[in-house]
Amino acid sequence: MTKETPVEGKELEGQVAVVTGGARGIGLAIAQALAEGGARVALVDVDGPEAMASAAQLPSTGHKGYAGDVTESREVVSVVERVEAELGPVAILVNNAGITRDNLLLRMTEEEWDLVLAVNLKGAFNTTKAVTRGMMKRRQGAIINIASVIGLMGNAGQTNYAASKAGLLGFTKSVARELASRGVRCNAIAPGFIKTAMTDKLSPDVVEGLKSQIPMGTLGEPHHVANVVRFLAGPGAAYITGQVIAVDGGMVM
């Protein structure tokens, strides 16, 4: 992935980054990119042992994995306190934790709706609130929310997911307005169809159907998202806040 990373050097040296849902997939790719930039990374995931194992595989040393459920505010506060005690003040937060529970609206249960909104939207609220006071005091911080093109365009069978990701975009812009004067930036990334363990399970016909919706004609890779996170976390994005960057091969223009 190093050859794909647009910024050379260690522009994030000395900074501590928290990546939720960081044990695998896009979250792990994000953690790798931030580690390559010099950051010490805390991987927070409901699967604590996997987060710890993934942290041990990151470039360089000083990274740690933590068990944490982003839907539980007290648990989030406790994890952030542990991260800051063990690694240092949090300068970068990546709200990546997310789930799907797809179903048509008429068949969707309250549980499917509530769980997706709890993880994808309330989770970002909990983690952002937990790090914000410290960032404001230090007058430095970068918050990056991983949304989705589905939050921009909608998708049949994903009313809960679309609502959660659209909500995350509004949350991003409001946080950016609240914190800009304190030196804290907040941006969002809206990935399109990215190759993950979930897409690997799709049939070739379905994958070809997805590709037909993408002007560039191919699915994205996790490092395509991770590289944009690294940029938004770094000094090159010092004058960027409240923005949504689609990493989607041209699906949404």
Q: Set out the domains of the chain in order of their start, with CATH numbers.
A: 16-246 (3.40.50.720)
Kindly report, residue by residue over 151-187, the tens digit of the pLDDT: 999 999 999 999 999 999 999 999 999 999 999 999 9
pLDDT surpasses 60 at 130? yes
Residue 16 backbone dihedrals phi, psi, to 5 degrees: -105, 130
Return the C-alpha torsion angle 52, 57, 59, 64, nearest 10.
10
Helix (H) or strand (E) holding 29: helix 25-36
Mean pLDDT of 190-200: 89
pLDDT surpasses 80 at 124? yes
Mean pLDDT of 18-31: 97
At residue 134, the pLDDT reads 98
Sheet containing 64-67: which strands, arranged edge to edge?
64-67, 40-45, 16-20, 90-95, 141-146, 184-191, 244-247
pLDDT surpasses 90 at 197? no
**Positions marked active-site:** 161
CA angle, residues 10, 241, 119, in degrees to nearest 5? 90
At residue 9, the pLDDT reads 76
Mean pLDDT of 39-49: 98
| Beta bridge pairs of residue 187 | 144
pLDDT surpasses 90 at 6? no
At residue 8, the pLDDT reads 60
Return the C-alpha torsion angle 110, 116, 122, 124, nearest 10.
180
In the structure, what pLDDT confidence band is assigned to residue 202 with cuts at 50, 70 and 90?
confident
Mean pLDDT of 231-235: 98
Q: Where are the beta strands (DSSP E) in 126-199?
A: 141-146, 184-191
At residue 150, the pLDDT reads 96
Residue 228: closest CA among 178, 176, 192, 252:
192
Average pLDDT score over the chain? 95
pLDDT surpasses 70 at 140? yes
Tokens of 219: 């699915």
Residue 9 backbone dihedrals phi, psi, to 5 degrees: 90, -160
pLDDT surpasses 60 at 81? yes
pLDDT surpasses 80 at 4? no
Q: State the Cα–Cα distance between residues 83 and 85, nearest whole angstrom.
A: 5
Specify the range with the lowest mean pLDDT, choosing from 10-24, 197-211, 215-229: 197-211
Query: HSE on the CB side for 113, CA within 13 Å?
Result: 9
Specify the range with the lowest mean pLDDT, choosing from 77-86, 189-198, 243-252: 189-198
In the structure, what pLDDT confidence band is assigned to residue 1 with cuts at 50, 70 and 90?
very low
Mean pLDDT of 15-24: 97
Counting residues of the chain whose pLDDT is more than 90, the rounded percentage is: 91
At residue 5, the pLDDT reads 45
